[in-house]
Amino acid sequence: MLEHLAKTDPKVAEVIRNELKRQQQVLELIPSENIVSPSVLDAVGSVLTNKYSEGYPRKRYYGGNEFADQAEELAISRAKELFGCEHVNVQPYSGSPANIEVYFALLQFGDKVMGMSLSEGGHLTHGHKVNFSGRAYHFVQYGVEKDTELLNYGKIEEIAKKEQPKMIVSGATAYPRQIDFKRFAEIAESIGAISMADISHIAGLIVSGAHPSPFPFTDVVTTTTHKTLRGPRSAIIMCKEKYAKPIDKAVFPGMQGGPHDHVTAAKAVCFAEALKPEFKDYGRQIVKNARALGEELSSQGLRLVTGGTDNHLLLVDLQPLNVTGKQAEEALDKANITVNKNTIPFDPRSPFDPSGIRLGTPTLTSRGMKEKQMEKVGELIARACKNWNSEQELGEVKKEVLALCGEFPVYEDL
């Protein structure tokens, strides 16, 4: 790897080599990350990056698009087969632009929309006040219940009936339980609103049958391709045929210029990989691993928001340990365990140093780890959190982390 770069730009080559080493030597538990296949890396690093293809297959504004068309058509047909959607646009650059493109396509500025609040598990683009979504549209935010920390669909329905939004957005980035997309679609339909599901975090679980699908009832579905789906850093928008035209127009020329053809090709590769039977085993193992990790953490005295998980992630409330999210994240970093600090619902602390950490199993599952290893990982996480200010103890944990990483190597040929 990097044979050319190493000669022409050793500084950047070194940065990349160090990042490779980091990925090989840490237990990566950020739930929105994963390890793509060497084939996805090949496509992302390919000559398709040189091409301009504004427009859509066979309707481009530039010549020379025979092969870019083929890449995009492969991505489209594979995405349709994978998700069972009527229409798909594979050009969005990433998840945030994809969501904004949906709003731009189907709403007028100032329209009322409902979305889950970031502080209770949603996403910036689901209406946070500092985000374009919250500035350009009138978002009404829903959250979880204080006692159960779960979505209350009856309450969401009540808010929808009272507020009469034009669109209801479902989906989350820090909600460890299943989302009832059918219920969301029914609520939207009952008030004549458009239903939109952002399945970015759980797309890989959905195509594996490890989480219920938002298809066929949801009007518009967005997903990133780089989380549980294990593809390149990008996104797609899927929708019912009746929304195809405005969605396509909003992506190009509404928001974007030329699509990133190299990434489109990598998305096609990722979809083909996710269509293989073994991907179903992978998705199911992610959930089994998250459950096993949660059980170990609970038995070590850590409190899990909602008491456990149905998906790929866990939200840990560190308050009983008297350690903050920031302190835990930094301590775990020293022990080569990568997590992110995260607010918990109704967090008394600030997002810069919240009360929780968010953990996910997609990357460790890609490395081949199973329930047995999750027990060990849980034990190491608990040990590091409890001893967050002991350099010596964190050093001991790091030794065990390195040994475990050595047993489950990644990118050995790079």
Is residue 413 flagged as an active site residue? no
Which among 313, 297, 291 has a CA at the least distance from the CA of 370?
A: 291
Catalytic one of 52, 330, 334, 393: 52
Number of H helices and E strands in the chain, helices first, is 16, 15
* 326 counts as catalytic: no
Which lies closer to ligand DSN via its Cβ, residue 233 or residue 249? 233
For this structure, is 166 an active site residue?
no
Please tell me the count of residues contacting ligand DSN according to CB under 6 A. 4
Per the CB < 8 A criterion, the answer to whether 335 and 384 are in contact is yes
DSSP run (H or E) holding 142: strand 138-142
**Closest CB to ligand DSN among residues 23, 32:** 32
Is 306 a catalytic site residue? no
Closest CA to 82 of 370, 283, 356: 283
**Binding residues among 88-107 for ligand DSN as defined by CB under 6 A:** 95
Active site annotation includes 333 = no
Looking at this protein, which amino acid is placed at residue 170?
Answer: S
Task: Take residue 104 and report the two structure tokens written for it.
Answer: 């731009």
Give the one residue of 117, 173, 355, 365 binding ligand DSN; rule: CB under 6 A.
Answer: 173
Of the residues 32, 213, 366, 373, which one makes contact with ligand DSN according to CB under 6 A: 32
Annotated active-site residue in 173, 223, 224, 324:
224
Catalytic residue among 54, 295, 347, 371: 54
Query: With contact defined as beta carbons under 8 Å apart, do 247 and 209 qualify?
Result: no
Please pick, among 227, 230, 383, 398, the residue that the annotation labels catalytic: 227
CB of 313 to ligand DSN, least distance (A): 9
Residue 293 structure tokens: 């990790």
Q: Is residue 54 annotated as a catalytic residue, yes or no?
A: yes
Task: Compute the 3-state secondary structure of the chain and give helix, strand, coil in percent, each to the nearest 5.
Answer: 50, 15, 35
Determine how β-strand 167-170 pairs with β-strand 194-198: parallel
- Report, in Å, the least distance between residue 32 CB and ligand DSN: 3
CB of 23 to ligand DSN, least distance (A): 16
Catalytic residues: 52, 54, 198, 224, 227, 233
The residues binding ligand DSN (CB under 6 A) are 32, 95, 123, 173
